[in-house]
Amino acid sequence: MKSIKSLLGGSLLALSLVASHVPAAEKTAPIHFGDITWESGSLITEVLRLIVEKGYGYPTDTLPGSTVSLEAALAKNDIQVIGEEWAGRSPAWVKAAAEGKVFGLGDTVKGATEGWWVPEYVIKGDPERGLKPLAPELKSVADLARYKDVFRDPEDPSRGRFLNSPTGWTSEIVNSQKLKAYDLTTSFVNFRTGSGAALDAEVASSIRRGKPVLFYYWSPTPLLGRYKLVKLEEPPFDADAWKTLSDANHPNPKGTRSMPASLAIGVSAPFKAQYPDLVALFEKVDFPIDLLNQTLAQMAEKRQPPRQVAQAFLRDQPQVWKGWVPGEVAEKVSSSL
């Protein structure tokens, strides 16, 4: 019995010693990133995850959801990071930020934009493709009503078709309110695609066939890296009008161009307190928009998964990201590639 107790005691001591030498990162629960469905968000998320995992040793995973549900989850700390947060856009984000539950870190993509677009050939034509101008005087959203037949909806030929964001995106609410504000609900169908990929496919298919298409889009994206597009003019930004657009229940929305884009990395308050090293990283993240658009275009054309493209990005563009992290972290990331 003595020898058994001695053996058990020695085993427990050994296990205790082993446990005490397990790095803290390995005992940490995974950091939950929002599983963003649009290309730039997916790529940025995977770049961040690789740096966090390989450079800092923290495990990560992703949890799916729409923009609205991910912002709600972040406020509750059910997820800890949203890799591409258009900060200040949604009422849910504004409320949570005011209460100190969420924070937008850094200025991750300078020059980001969003709005309503048409292919350039709709306005100017394309002699090489034998395409004549269909809406030569189309410059702004105010001109759309007289060009509804150009963008005829195949299911409702009496109206044009406007391709909106998928339901569940903050921009879908804004665009639906803009249709009301610009008095376009009787002349255009508010068509919502099932996903970001479906929106991409619809727009790309129309452009390849030289067909007119009116759609909401944003940058950074593959499309803006591949095609010649024209962004339609809207009234100057007005903060009060914007509030009427971001509120789905506002009965009298007023037109304005979208709020100036501020792309950040969204984090929960507990994450900000627990991971000062990652907060320092996130505050320095800066993706050059032209390079990002080109990378996204290649990703779309080759149909590569975001994780694979993120690994190639880190390997081929060290001048972009190495300044975000300390030297020893950069070395760990580089060696993992």
**CB-facing half-sphere around the CA of 323: CA atoms within 13 A:** 7
Nearest in space to 196 (alpha carbons), one of 159, 230, 165, 170? 165
Is 70 exceeded by the pLDDT of residue 31? yes
Please name the residue that has the structure tokens 């729409």: 66
Q: Which residue has the higher pLDDT, 13 or 326?
A: 326
Q: Which residue has the higher pLDDT, 237 or 259?
A: 237
Is 50 exceeded by the pLDDT of residue 14? no
Specify the pLDDT at position 3: 44
Specify the pLDDT at position 223: 83
Q: Which of 11-15, 265-269, 320-324 has the lowest mean pLDDT?
A: 11-15
Q: CB-based burial of residue 276 (10 Å sphere; 0-12 exposed, 13-18 middle, 19+ buried)? A: exposed
pTM for this one?
0.75
Is 50 exceeded by the pLDDT of residue 13? no
Residue 5 structure tokens? 């107790």
Residues sharing a CB contact under 8 Å with residue 268, sequence separation 6 or more, in sequence order: 74, 75, 76, 77, 79, 80, 81, 101, 102, 103
pLDDT band at 117 (very low <50, low <70, confident <90, very high): very high
Query: What structural domains and CATH numbers belong to the chain?
Result: 29-110+262-336 (3.40.190.10), 113-246 (3.40.190.100)
User: Amino acid identity, residue 277?
Assistant: D
pLDDT band at 70 (very low <50, low <70, confident <90, very high): very high
Q: Which residue has the higher pLDDT, 95 or 24?
A: 95
| DSSP secondary structure, 128-177, as one string | GGTB--S-TT--BGGGGGGGTTTTEETTEEEEEEEEEPPTTSHHHHHHHH
Nearest in space to 255 (alpha carbons), one of 283, 235, 271? 235
pLDDT mean over 122-131: 96
pLDDT mean over 53-68: 95
Is 60 exceeded by the pLDDT of residue 8? no
Is 90 exceeded by the pLDDT of residue 194? no
Per DSSP bridges, beta strands 102-105 and 113-119 are unpaired
Is 90 exceeded by the pLDDT of residue 334? yes
Q: Which residue has the higher pLDDT, 168 or 314?
A: 314
pLDDT mean over 181-191: 98
* 3-class DSSP state of 120: helix
pLDDT band at 18 (very low <50, low <70, confident <90, very high): very low
Is 80 exceeded by the pLDDT of residue 15? no
Percent of the chain with pLDDT over 90: 76
Contact by Cβ (8 Å): 84, 45: yes
pLDDT band at 11 (very low <50, low <70, confident <90, very high): very low
